[in-house]
């Protein structure tokens, strides 16, 4: 394996000690067929020079990478699942495979798996991942990255040749193993486990570890634990706002699915909104709508409150309470900024801008205009030619949209928007979107004919959209 000078391995997580994880081994799969490799992000950690055979060796057979973890670690955690506390969680079909530093940002990143086999936390499960589930993870992470969401990256997808039985899709079905590139797999549930066990020393050790490796800014705070919690509140509020502006519904906002870095990850029953509907749910089993689109901010706030409870032994409750109370104001501010960026407008947070953003979402709700199409049409405050050729053209003639478009045009267009005016993405008549019908059509080609061409092309289309929006996220 030729090592790139950008390859910088690390071994930090195992320094927490054996009480934080279990050493495990990957399943021995009957076949390993490479279906997706993310060379864009492999280049950022010095692994893009791997041949396909070497890639499969490490991410299908899980031969250790040089100078990082030599034995995979199944992480221990607890969590609230749909409001009910579960002490029997942990990495049941995944593990931490490696840690590396990212070029440029110098962030510590994890390579973690999904579908890599049974662990002590599998709870009678087979520890496997369906190929359709892996494909959906690729699509979700690529789409969210393109839309400016702080998300984990699907790094690798390998088909593994097993037939899996699943109750929520036609069975038997094909299997896969996925590798995720993430800015930490430490989650609220990691802290909850230690709090439940009454392990104050472990809580202090974990908090110090998270501050040292993920939130060094917190160390400058008068009380670093309060500083840490404040950073997490800000990051989670921003993530929730990014989801909202993307029209994304995660589906399973349990405390074990919220990381301490505020990075979106673990895409199971996700959906994107066809139209603005606060009651829209992603998971068929979410029968009460606990994690519906419009309730996601509430769910995130509730989860943060559970994190605050675990930190009480380490600090003063009043400081935690004050930090938690900043969540909703920060969410609203981040939503205004993110929405304006997606519309190609200057992302300020004046009272006027906030009111116009609220008016925009109200118009989406009241007219049931297609969500993604509306953002696409109204980019740069709505080019008349784009509005005229849009499938939404008749809607934009309604008084409610006439007023909203006029309000958007009263805001300044960003310099980035002007620079992007000739981008090929704007030559399309419709945006790249990710509705369930699209996902099912892509899977049908794969399942029935083993034809990956439409999937591969759609990933390229998403990345074209991402190249269009990317300068806005850097603003």
Number of neighbours of residue 338 by Cβ within 10 angstroms:
24
Output the CA–CA distances (angstroms, integers) from residue 21 to 95, 282, 442, in the order listed. Answer: 9, 31, 37
Output the CA–CA distances (angstroms, integers) from residue 210 to 70, 77, 142, 339, 471, in the order listed. Answer: 22, 15, 27, 30, 30
Rounded Cα distance between 21 and 119, Å, is: 11
Per-residue tokens: 353: 């801008």
Q: Are 116 and 135 in contact (CB under 8 A)?
A: no
Of the residues 110, 256, 266, 286, only one is catalytic, namely 256
The alpha carbon of 285 is separated from its chain's Cα centroid by a whole number of angstroms, namely 21
Give kind and range of the element (H or E) at residue 181.
strand 173-182
307 SS3 class:
helix
Q: Are 117 and 210 in contact (CB under 8 A)?
A: no
* Catalytic residue status for 256: yes
Nearest C-alpha neighbor of 353 from the set 331, 364, 366, 337? 337
Rounded Cα distance between 292 and 290, Å, is: 6
Rounded Cα distance between 358 and 301, Å, is: 21
Task: Give the Cα-Cα-Cα angle 225, 206, 253 (nearest 5 degrees).
Answer: 85
Rounded Cα distance between 469 and 78, Å, is: 37
Per-residue tokens: 78: 């607890």
**248 beta partners:** 272
Q: What is the phi/psi pair of residue 80, to 5°?
A: -85, 125
Residue with tokens 């993405």: 425
Nearest C-alpha neighbor of 355 from the set 433, 410, 395? 410
Per-residue tokens: 207: 């908090």
List residues with catalytic annotation.
Answer: 256
């Amino acid at each position: 394996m030729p090592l790139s000078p950008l390859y910088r391995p690390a071994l930090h997580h195992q320094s927490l000690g054996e009480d934080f994880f279990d050493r495990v081994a990957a399943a021995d799969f009957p076949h390993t067929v490479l279906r997706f490799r993310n060379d864009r992000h492999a280049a950022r950690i010095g692994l893009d020079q791997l041949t396909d055979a070497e890639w499969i060796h490490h991410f299908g057979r899980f031969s250790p990478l040089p100078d990082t973890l030599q034995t995979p670690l199944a992480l221990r955690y607890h969590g609230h699942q749909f409001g009910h506390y579960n002490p029997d969680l942990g990495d049941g079909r995944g593990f931490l495979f490696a840690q590396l530093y990212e070029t440029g940002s110098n962030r510590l990143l994890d390579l973690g798996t999904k579908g890599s086999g049974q662990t002590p936390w599998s709870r009678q499960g087979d520890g496997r991942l369906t190929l359709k589930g892996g494909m959906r993870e690729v699509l979700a992470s690529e789409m969210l990255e393109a839309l400016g969401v702080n998300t984990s990256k699907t790094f690798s997808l390998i088909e593994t040749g097993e037939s899996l039985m699943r109750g929520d899709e036609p069975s038997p079905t094909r299997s896969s193993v996925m590798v995720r590139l993430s800015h930490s797999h430490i989650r609220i549930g990691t802290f909850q486990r230690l709090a439940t066990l009454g392990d104050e020393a472990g809580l202090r050790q974990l908090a110090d570890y998270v501050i040292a490796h993920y939130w060094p800014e917190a160390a400058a705070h008068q009380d670093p634990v309060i500083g840490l919690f404040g950073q997490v509140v800000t990051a989670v509020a921003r993530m929730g706002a990014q989801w909202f502006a993307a029209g994304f519904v995660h589906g399973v906002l349990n405390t074990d699915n919220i990381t301490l870095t505020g990075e979106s990850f673990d895409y199971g029953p996700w959906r994107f909104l066809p139209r603005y509907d606060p009651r829209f749910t992603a998971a068929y089993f979410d029968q009460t709508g606990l994690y519906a689109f419009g309730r996601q901010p509430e769910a995130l706030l509730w989860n943060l409150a559970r994190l605050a409870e675990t930190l009480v032994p380490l600090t003063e409750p009043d400081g935690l309470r004050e930090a938690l109370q900043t969540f909703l104001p920060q969410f609203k501010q981040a939503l205004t900024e993110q929405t304006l960026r997606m519309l190609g407008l200057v992302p300020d947070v004046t009272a006027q801008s906030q009111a116009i953003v609220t008016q925009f979402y109200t118009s989406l709700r009241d007219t049931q205009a297609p969500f993604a199409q509306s953002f696409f049409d109204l980019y740069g405050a709505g080019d008349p030619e784009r509005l005229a050729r849009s499938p939404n053209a008749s809607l934009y003639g309604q008084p409610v949209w006439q007023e909203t478009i006029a309000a958007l045009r009263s805001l300044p267009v960003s310099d980035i928007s002007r620079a992007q005016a000739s981008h090929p993405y704007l030559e399309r008549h419709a945006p790249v979107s990710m509705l369930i019908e699209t996902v099912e059509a892509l899977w049908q080609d794969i399942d029935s004919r083993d034809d990956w061409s439409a999937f591969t092309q759609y990933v390229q289309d998403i990345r074209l959209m991402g190249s269009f929006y990317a300068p806005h996220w850097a603003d």
